[in-house]
Structure 1
Amino acid sequence: MQPSIPPVSTGALRGHIASLQGVRHPLVAPEALEKAANYIESTLQNSGYKIKNHCFLDNGREYRNLIATLPGTVKNQPKLLIIAHYDTVSNSPGADDNASGVALLLELARICALTRLKRTMEFVAVNLEENERETKPKGRGLRGSRALAQHARKERWSLAGVIVLESVAYASEDAVQTIPDGLPIDVPTVGDFIAVIGNKASDYLVEAFLRAAEKHQPDLPKVPLVVPGNGEMIPDTRRSDHAPFWDEGYPAIMLTDTTNFRNPHYHQPSDTLETLNLDFATAVGSAVAGLIIALDQTGSISNAHTITEPDALR
Structure 2
Amino acid sequence: MRPLSGAGKGGALPAVSRDRIVQHLTFLEGVRHPVVAPVALQQACGYVEDMLRALGYAVDLHGFEDGAEQYHNVVATRLGTRRPEKRLLVLAHFDTVAGSPGADDNASGVALLLELAAIFKQWRPELTLQFVGVNLEENADREEAGIGLRGSRALAALAAAQGWEIEAVVVLESVAFAGSSLPQGAPAGVPLQVPPHGDFLAVIGNEMSQGLVTRFALTVESFQVPLPVVPLVVPGNGELLPDTRRSDHAPFWDAGYPAIMLTDTTNFRNPHYHQPSDTVDTLNLSFALRVCEATAAFLLGLAGGEGEAQR
Normalised TM-score (structure 2):
0.92
**Counterpart pick for 1:108 among 112, 116, 122:** 116
**Counterpart pick for 1:42 among 35, 50, 53:** 50
Deviations 1:5-62 (A, max 9, x none): 5211112111100010100000000000000011111111111112101100011111
Give the Cα separation in 2 of the matches to 1:207 and 1:279: 24
Give the Cα separation in 2 of the matches to 1:49 and 1:116: 12
Give the Cα separation in 2 of the matches to 1:30 and 1:76: 36
Q: Which residue of 1 aligns with 2:289?
A: 282
Q: Which residue of 1 aligns with 2:101?
A: 93
**Counterpart pick for 2:34 among 16, 22, 26:** 26
**Counterpart pick for 1:16 among 4, 13, 24:** 24
When the two structures are aligned, how many residues end up with a matched partner? 296
**Amino acid in the other structure paired with 2:123:** T
Cα deviation, residue 116, structure 1: 2.4
Local SS of the residue matching 2:119: helix
Kindly indicate whether the alpha-carbon contact (under 8 Å) linking 1:3 and 1:116 is maintained by their aligned counterparts in 2.
no
Using the aligned pairs only, state the percent identity.
56
Cα deviation, residue 297, structure 1: 4.0
Kindly indicate whether the alpha-carbon contact (under 8 Å) linking 2:84 and 2:126 is maintained by their aligned counterparts in 1.
no
Local SS of the residue matching 2:123: coil
Give the Cα separation in 1 of the matches to 2:143 and 2:25: 27
Task: Say yes or no: does 1:121 pair with 2:121.
Answer: no
Evaluate the alpha carbon distance shift between residue 109 and residue 262 of structure 1 in structure 2; reply closer, same or farther with a 3 A threshold.
same
**Amino acid in the other structure paired with 2:63:** C
Cα deviation, residue 76, structure 1: 4.3
Q: Which residue of 2 aligns with 1:307?
A: none
Q: Which residue of 2 aligns with 1:302?
A: none
Evaluate the alpha carbon distance shift between residue 187 and residue 167 of structure 1 in structure 2; reply closer, same or farther with a 3 A threshold.
same
Q: Which residue of 1 aligns with 2:4?
A: none
Deviations 1:218-277 (A, max 9, x none): 421110000010000000000000000000000000000000000000000000000000
Q: Map 1:122-271 onto structure 2 (within 5 A).
A: 122-133=130-141, 138-271=145-278
Cα deviation, residue 81, structure 1: 0.1
Local SS of the residue matching 1:113: coil
Local SS of the residue matching 1:146: helix
Evaluate the alpha carbon distance shift between residue 222 and residue 75 of structure 1 in structure 2; reply closer, same or farther with a 3 A threshold.
closer
**Amino acid in the other structure paired with 2:272:** H
CA RMSD of aligned residues (A): 1.6
- Structure 1 gap ranges (5+): 299-314
Local SS of the residue matching 1:106: helix
